[in-house]
Amino acid sequence: MAREEGGGGEAQGGTVVTPSAEFPPLAEAELATLRGIGARWRPGGRPGELPVDPTLGRYRRRPPSRFGRLAPIELFKVEEPDELVATEPANLPGSRWGRAVTRLRRALFGPPLSSAAVLYERMRKLVALPILSSDLLSSVAYGPEAMLSVLVLAGSGSLGLSLPLAAALVVLMIAVGLSYRQTIPAYPHGAGSYIVAGDNLGVTPGLAAAAGLMLDYVLTVSVSVAAGVHAVTSALPGLTWATVPLGVLVIAVLLAGNLRGVRTAGNIFVLPTYAFVVAVLAVLAVGYLRAAGRGFAPVPPPTVPAAEGVGLLLVLRAFASGAVSMTGIEAVSNAVPAFRPTEWRNARTTLGWMVTMLVVLFAGLTVLIHLAGLVPRPDETVLSQLGRLTFPTGPWYALLQVTTALILLLAANTAFNDFPRLLFFMARDGHAPRRFLHMGDRLAFSNGLVALAVAATVVFVAFGGHTEALIPLYAVGVFLAFTLSQAGMVVHWRRRRGRGWRHRLVLNALGATLSGLVLLTAAVAKFTEGAWVVVVAVPLLVLLFHRIHRHYATLHRALALHRPPAAGAGPAPTGAGPAEGEELPQQVRHLVVVPVARLNRASLRALAYAASLGQPTLAVHIAPEEAEADRFREQWRAWGDQVRLETIVSPYRAVIGPLAHYLEALHASRPELTLTVIVPEVVLRRRRHRPLHSRAEQRLRTALRPLPGVVVTSVPVHIAE
Amino acid sequence: MAREEGGGGEAQGGTVVTPSAEFPPLAEAELATLRGIGARWRPGGRPGELPVDPTLGRYRRRPPSRFGRLAPIELFKVEEPDELVATEPANLPGSRWGRAVTRLRRALFGPPLSSAAVLYERMRKLVALPILSSDLLSSVAYGPEAMLSVLVLAGSGSLGLSLPLAAALVVLMIAVGLSYRQTIPAYPHGAGSYIVAGDNLGVTPGLAAAAGLMLDYVLTVSVSVAAGVHAVTSALPGLTWATVPLGVLVIAVLLAGNLRGVRTAGNIFVLPTYAFVVAVLAVLAVGYLRAAGRGFAPVPPPTVPAAEGVGLLLVLRAFASGAVSMTGIEAVSNAVPAFRPTEWRNARTTLGWMVTMLVVLFAGLTVLIHLAGLVPRPDETVLSQLGRLTFPTGPWYALLQVTTALILLLAANTAFNDFPRLLFFMARDGHAPRRFLHMGDRLAFSNGLVALAVAATVVFVAFGGHTEALIPLYAVGVFLAFTLSQAGMVVHWRRRRGRGWRHRLVLNALGATLSGLVLLTAAVAKFTEGAWVVVVAVPLLVLLFHRIHRHYATLHRALALHRPPAAGAGPAPTGAGPAEGEELPQQVRHLVVVPVARLNRASLRALAYAASLGQPTLAVHIAPEEAEADRFREQWRAWGDQVRLETIVSPYRAVIGPLAHYLEALHASRPELTLTVIVPEVVLRRRRHRPLHSRAEQRLRTALRPLPGVVVTSVPVHIAE
């Protein structure tokens, strides 16, 4: 995909996450231009020696007074001749308020981590399995129930349809699993749907997959947190009222944990995931033993009146709802480089284990629920009902609920890992705001984390924390990404034509077709239930990503280096070049303008600064009345008329407007001039004194911003009190 | 009072309001210093001729393209050799959004008015009377009722006490009237309580009077609007629900009218005021004729049960409530210069008429209400009851209500005239924010008007638009100003000792004593009913005014010109002077620092600009990792190492913090250097693109603001799209 404008590019290292991504290297053509510019560079005046040692050699024995407390700590260390390394205290902001905020943040999220601490951890399969499968396996906590919730609308009699639907879903799981199994060796550096679809199908499908994934991650957090809270309120119905605040709290804790960086906490995943699997397996074992005792005769479910008839649409809706059990199946293919060597082989094995476990848990639970004659109830999850039935006494039921809540929490956490990474790759390609490239001081992509938490909280609160209401939105985004990723693999095999490519192509085509069918089913059957939101949002997001990319591309072109024109090579071009076209010192023609309101220390300092630059200088005074203008000129003469003064009478008493227009007019009369507007700025120490001042300096700066060729210089005067 | 620090001073013209007040003249000592500085001024380099004609002689034939629509209009006219006059279009902001706002404002409030349009209108007595008396006379619409509302708490039997109380109030009115009558010739340039108390008693009493007056003005608006709306709802009870929105609407209309400038609308006042007087006189005439018909036998009022006993406190509270009828009596003394010559004599005569009319209306109404046996009711004003009783049929009742509402509106408008003027005088003395000196483009003190409208709206809404609830707050502020003003006159006579000073002193002392007694009565008797708010607010306001003054005084001292030290007279001082101490060009020692994130057109332009200044230059690059630092140095070498580069590796990826600390450290190692930080700034045309950028330039500026001796220069690059 078109990665050249966004900077980065394949050379930068595919799926490697690095803090240097904010500073992409220059292309060879740009370096050549740079050499050409350098050859014609003629500095003005007497640049000569620096009046100060830039390596702070002398300074280190004399720390500045404002940081008296930090005196014993050196803020910078000298490394190479022209290189300093900032130590940790050098990151503290200068203002008291800023330092307090930074301290609080560090207390919450820990001290900053050095770039050198970026870890490229390698995982054993037995560790990778729980980490990568929490999202997938946790879905069985709500997937079968989502399916039954639809079927029960046609009355309890139609609940038996869950068995054939489960069989179809198992086929789908295996097909998609096999399909992803093939992706892994083909993309050993990681095969996110965004990358696979983008590489093989083009930019727009890649962005569509990214949009689907982004919605998927947001909904993963919302749905997992909703289901986790539901697991808790099923066990403790007294907490039902607190569903929404509890969920928001959980999202906040997840955000805080991820801002802190839970990288060393990979092991946290191991226990709950395995515990959940064991707990569900125990439920299955005990349940099937009991069922065997009565000859596998199903308990008839309580009679529920039918709200609608059993139609094709209902069955399709139930199928699409059940399919959300597959969310998270793509996790392994994203994370191939995190495995120990041989990476792709270990990853593939792990994926096999995961899909097997998914099939066992999903099918086992669906059948057992049918045998037990359970019906979805709004106040208690089906899994909780099954747990109570299976373990009427003892701590086992509580354990099941705790592990369910924990694995759902971990599933939500998975999205917190993947969402910022996806945004990082998109930002590197110029499809997302560049701020998502920035690693916070804990080496986490703080901006992406916050964006995810905000979006998930909005969705969670808007839907009142109800899992069922979110499911229709969920399936569409997930299966869009599945379909595009596997369709991308089909194209991949057709292009590469490696060993056995036909066989592989057929397998991926099958996966793509089945995923596509589920996507269509979900989008159509659940359109009115909420899927329309996703159907509308994905194209809008793709459009947005394209627009962002266009902006960055324009910017890149506008800022790209180009060789100075041949005329500029001479000692002093006299022709009127375009404003801001200068790239060589000898091309810059100066006019210094100093707006002066009254003659005091601040304005005299600005005038002295201006005069010290040794360039043509003009002072401008805006007077509200003729009388005041005369008075000011008198003061100017008393000072000795050191600088040419132009007075502008502004009979309507506006200052900024006429000044900006005057500067614009000056510039229009000689467009090749660079106007340097030197503004005296009184800096107040206390924020509460600000309302006593008009902040004319800021307003002038804002008014001058759009003018080309106008440079604004603030000469500060600091007021002690 | 101490006016020297705030600028302005008596020389500026006492109570004359001028747009030049924002630019106070320099004192003679400052001019001398200025001459001294000028004598030692040595500009650096080659200032020479300007490369452009500052009078825009050439430009006027070639208007800038950005204002294509304005092409035929000249933005500036040449007046004197070095003076331009901005025409009206030069006030339009440059941005499309700003121009739209300005256009809307002009459509609402009219085109801007030139400073030359400040009118010093002179009023005939017959015009001055209605203009200045609307506040005073309108009080009789709620004053008697306020008194009766207190008395009725002790049952209908105690309503008869209104007669002796009214007699006492008439004595008070005459005494205060005579007292103010003397102030007028003593202060022919206008005798606001703030100025009289400040001149004679000292700064703090002057500020206390100002605080009292400010509260008075705010409450005048709230109470008058509340009473006016009550006059309307008394006639049309169906509108009672809309009391609060109606009142807020009225305040908004008053604000808009005053922002527009109702200067030419003085005549608006004439008709409603005279109509109100005539209407009330008609009520009195008909009422007394009827009463004469039954031999002046009072109609027994309907029985109202007593809520409390008749005690001294109750009587005092009733007295204090009735005293609010006197608010506005000071209006004439404020406005002496607005009369035709001989100003003080005409003003004094007008005051005499006003007090006479007040006494007639107040006493007449109180007695007639007693004779008619009327009792205050929450749903209808007493004046409205009297009107209905007097004119049961015909349009006369409606006319009475309309003129009552109108005169109350005018009374509120009076506060809109006086409040911003008071703030102007306080701001000129440095006791209020300087923005209150600024005349908006309609020559109105827009900031003061908005402040009053906001405060009055808050009070009005907080009290739900009930007149009675506001009365207790009202009396204290008014009588504080009365007392201080007249006490000031006592001191004035003692100091001046002109002809008949003893006699005048006694009269003012009587006025001050009586006013002081009412003040005490109101503050004590109504303390729990709300007067405590004023008792607390006045000292706090005085403290605030003092603090504001202290800030401006500190600022003035800090910015005052002082002769450069003798050492500075030489060609180049080498010793380390204090940061920002330089006032001569030859004292400024430069180091130019250019932070460079990446090499593109924006940063190369900043580097070219820096090099063209011909001063020692240092480039600084902040790298997140060692590898990136190496890569950047390589690019730098490709360019030809034109400028000395210092690389700072920031392993915690912060940019702004380490850069600011580095600059601070540089400055600390050579405090006499002026560091000019040249920041490339990419200016985006569209606001919606801003979220795609980190605005590092603004953040850097904020971080560098507190550093002394650091000048920040933004070199813009404008992006077309």
- Give the pLDDT score at B582: 61
With CA atoms as reference, the chain A residue closest to B649 would be A85
pLDDT digits (tens, 9 = 90+) for A281-311: 999 999 999 999 888 888 888 888 888 888 8
Confidence of residue B47 (pLDDT cuts 50, 70, 90): low
Chain A / chain B CB contacts < 8 angstroms? 539
Convert the pLDDT of each residue in A82-133 to its tens digit: 788 888 777 777 777 888 888 888 888 888 888 777 665 677 888 888 888 8
Mean pLDDT for B298-303 is: 86
Residues of B in contact with A76 (CB under 8 A): 648, 658, 661-662, 665
Torsion of CA A305, A311, A312, A318, to 10 degrees: -10
Ramachandran area for residue B87 (φ above 0: left; ψ -120 to 50: alpha; else beta): beta
Interchain contact A62–B (C-beta under 8 A):
yes
Question: Which has more pLDDT, B564 or A273?
Answer: A273
Give the per-residue pLDDT at B45.
62
pLDDT at A70 over 70: no
List CB contacts (< 8 A) between A612 and chain B. Answer: 43-44, 585-588, 590
B72-81, B425-434, B607-616, B623-632: which has the minimum mean pLDDT?
A: B72-81
Contact B638 A38 (CB under 8 A): yes
- On whether any CB of chain A is under 8 Å from the CB of B153, the answer is no
Report CA-CA distances (Å) from A575 to A572, A670, A673: 9, 10, 11
Average pLDDT over every residue of B377-381: 86
Query: Shortest Cα distance from B687 to chain A (angstroms)?
Result: 12
A-proximal residues of B, 636-695, CB under 8 Å: 638-640, 642-654, 656-658, 660-662, 664-670, 673-674, 676, 682-683, 685, 689, 691-694
In this structure, chain B runs to a length of 721
CA-based Rg of chain A, rounded to a whole angstrom? Answer: 33
Indicate if the pLDDT at residue B191 is higher than 70. no
Q: Stretch A176-190: mean pLDDT, rounded?
A: 86
Give the global pTM: 0.83
Q: What pLDDT is attached to residue B708?
A: 84
Give the separation between CA A82 and CA B623, rounded to whole angstroms: 13
Q: What is the mean pLDDT of chain B?
A: 84
pLDDT at A610: 92
The residue ranking higher by pLDDT, A96 or A239, is A239
Helix, coil or strand: residue B377: coil
Q: Decide if A665 and B56 are in contact by the 8 Å CB cutoff.
A: yes
pLDDT at B310: 82
CA angle at A598 for the pair A597 and A604, rounded to the nearest 5°:
105
As a whole number of angstroms, the distance between CA B286 and CA B279 comes to 11
Q: Does A46 touch chain B (CB under 8 A)?
A: yes
**C-alpha to C-alpha distances, B347 to A140, B177, B327, nearest whole angstrom:** 92, 12, 18
Longest distance between any two alpha carbons in chain A, whole Å:
113
> Rounded to an integer, what distance in angstroms lies between the CA atom of residue B430 and that of residue B450?
20
The pLDDT score that the predictor gives to residue A686 is 82
CA of A636: which chain B residue's CA is closest?
B34
Q: B368 vs B191, which has greater pLDDT?
A: B368
For residue B691 the two structure tokens come to: 């979220």
CB of A619 less than 8 A from some CB of B: no
Please name the amino acid found at residue A540.
Answer: L
Distance CA B338, CA B122 (A): 5
pLDDT at residue A677, rounded to an integer:
95
Give pLDDT, residue B566: 52
Most trustworthy range by pLDDT among A423-432, B9-18, B253-262: A423-432
Q: What pLDDT does B110 receive?
A: 80
Alpha-carbon dihedral sign for residues B147, B150, B152, B158: negative
Q: What is the ipTM of this complex?
A: 0.85
Residue B571 to residues A50, A389, A455, Cα–Cα distance (Å): 21, 97, 64
CB neighbours (10 Å) of residue B296? 10
Q: What's the rounded Cα separation, in Å, for the pair B326 and B501?
A: 26
Contact B186, B344 (CB under 8 A): no
Query: What integer best gives the mean pLDDT of chain A?
Result: 84
Mean pLDDT of B414-439: 89
Whole-number pLDDT of residue B72: 36
B532 touches chain A (CB under 8 A): no
Question: Which one, of A361, A227, A230, A386, lies nearest residue A301 by Cα?
Answer: A386
Question: What's the residue count for chain A?
Answer: 721
Q: Which of B460, B1, B391 is nearest to B251 (CA)?
A: B460
Taking only the tens place, the pLDDT of each residue in B660-685 is: 888 888 888 888 889 999 999 888 88
| Inter-residue contact B119 to B263 (CB < 8 Å) | yes
Does B646 contact A88 at a Cβ distance shorter than 8 Å? Answer: no
CA of B539 to nearest chain A CA: how many angstroms apart? 20
Cα distances (angstroms) measured from residue A323 to each of A138, B71, B223, B304: 13, 67, 69, 79
Q: Which pLDDT band holds residue B614 (cuts at 50, 70, 90)? A: confident
Chain B residues inside the 8 Å CB shell of A625 = 18-20, 115-116
Q: How many CB atoms lie within 10 A of CB B465?
A: 23
Range in A88-92, A127-131, A632-636, B8-12 with the lowest mean pLDDT = B8-12
Please give the average per-residue pLDDT across A268-288, as a whole number. Answer: 89
A252 versus B92: the higher-pLDDT residue is A252
What average pLDDT does the segment A645-673 reach?
A: 87
Read off the pLDDT of each residue in A626-634 and give the average, rounded to a whole number.
90
How far apart CA B555 and CA A721 sit, in angstroms, is 8
Q: Do A627 and B20 touch (CB under 8 A)?
A: yes
Classify burial at A341, counting beta carbons within 10 Å of its beta carbon; exposed 0-12, middle 13-18, buried 19 or more.
exposed
Mean pLDDT within B78-92: 78
pLDDT in the model for residue B275: 92
Confidence of residue A14 (pLDDT cuts 50, 70, 90): low
% of chain A residues with pLDDT over 90: 31
Do residues A210 and A194 make contact, with C-beta atoms less than 8 angstroms apart?
A: yes
Contact residues on chain B for A627, CB-CB shorter than 8 A = 20
What is the 8-class DSSP label of residue A444?
S
